[in-house]
Amino acid sequence: MQAARQLVLDFLGIAPGPEEGPAAGPAPVAAPQAASAPLEHPQANRQVVLEGLRVAYVLRRARRRSIGFRVDGDGLSVRAPASASVGAIEAALQAKAGWIVRKLAEQGEWQRRLEGARIDWKEGAVLPYLGEPLAIVLDPAHRVAGAGARLAAAEPGQSARQLHVPLARHASPAQLRDAVQAWLLDEARRHFTQRLEHFAPLLGVRWTRLSLSSARSRWGSARSDGSIRLNWRLMHFRPAIIDYVVAHELAHLRVMDHSPRFWNTVASVVPDYAALRAGLRDEPPPMWD
């Protein structure tokens, strides 16, 4: 095993997770029609009709023994050995047509939910912070050189906490977004460090470095040298979900795979990890751009 081998979470993306399917086995029944799903991959180089729907997919040749399918927010991608004929690839696609169409439909729905959660960067915008609503307040009175945003309690009659951002009333959406992101990055590093320090002794591991990620396809990763990478967008989720991701990555410092032994390791510190993992899949974070 390579010393610098990187393990990523098996749920990926700011999405319910790209899904990779096997090339053999019975196709699932009851596949919904996916008229608004991502049926055309942006890098598509082939197309096929699956359950009456034309699906444009990207085919990549790889050094592997079997044909694998992956469905994410872009659509369907296929990895196949160089020796696999186009006929064999399309036969494998037809064998798993129900699974593919169902996953495309799920991704299409997820993308619509993401669009619905897009942040409108202006005074009064609300975004989730540790699972609770956080209202943005422009606070030009506190525009002091070097001063950042500050968290405040909800005012009487308001349910959401407030983030006071020291910007002028005429600040652009980009200025407001950048100021809030700078604050959230600081909060993420502080919170993640605290939770890493909590779980590492419980798991009997030592982490060496924390870095923050803004990737759209990974929530976290771990390397066997003890370095941990966590997506700052996790700060939108409730603390229990963040704890699951932190414990997941630290558990990789003991077990560098997703074997039953790995999941038992996670369960030793986060017994309800399965429900929390589902919550991470099912709760879309807001779109910033």
Q: CA-to-CA distance for 235 and 239, rounded, in angstroms?
A: 8
Question: Average per-residue pLDDT in the chain?
Answer: 81
Decide: 3 and 225 in contact? Cβ < 8 Å.
yes
Statement: residue 188 has pLDDT above 60: yes
Decide: 136 and 120 in contact? Cβ < 8 Å.
no
The residue among 282 and 279 whose pLDDT is bigger is 279
Mean pLDDT score, 114-128: 80
Closest Cα to residue 288, out of 145, 127, 150? 127
The residue among 40 and 204 whose pLDDT is bigger is 204
Q: What is the CA radius of gyration of the chain?
A: 22
Give me the CATH code for the 126-282 domain, please: 3.30.2010.10
Q: How far is CA 138 from CA 1, 153, 187, in A?
A: 51, 15, 19
Statement: residue 229 has pLDDT above 80: yes
Q: CA-to-CA distance for 206 and 196, rounded, in angstroms?
A: 9
Quick one: 216 exposed, middle or buried, by C-beta within 10 A (0-12, 13-18, 19+)?
Answer: middle
The contacts found for 158-164 with CB under 8 angstroms, 24 or more apart, are 159/133, 160/126, 160/132, 160/133, 160/134, 160/135, 161/129, 161/132, 161/133, 161/134, 161/135, 162/134, 162/135, 162/136, 162/137, 163/129, 163/134, 163/135, 163/136, 163/137, 164/137, 164/139
Task: Kindly list the domain boundaries of the chain, sorted by start residue.
Answer: 15-116, 126-282
Residue 18 pLDDT class (50, 70, 90 cuts):
very low
pTM of the model: 0.67
Q: How far is CA 58 from CA 43, 44, 61, 111, in A?
A: 6, 4, 10, 19
Dihedral of alpha carbons 27, 33, 37, 39, sign? positive
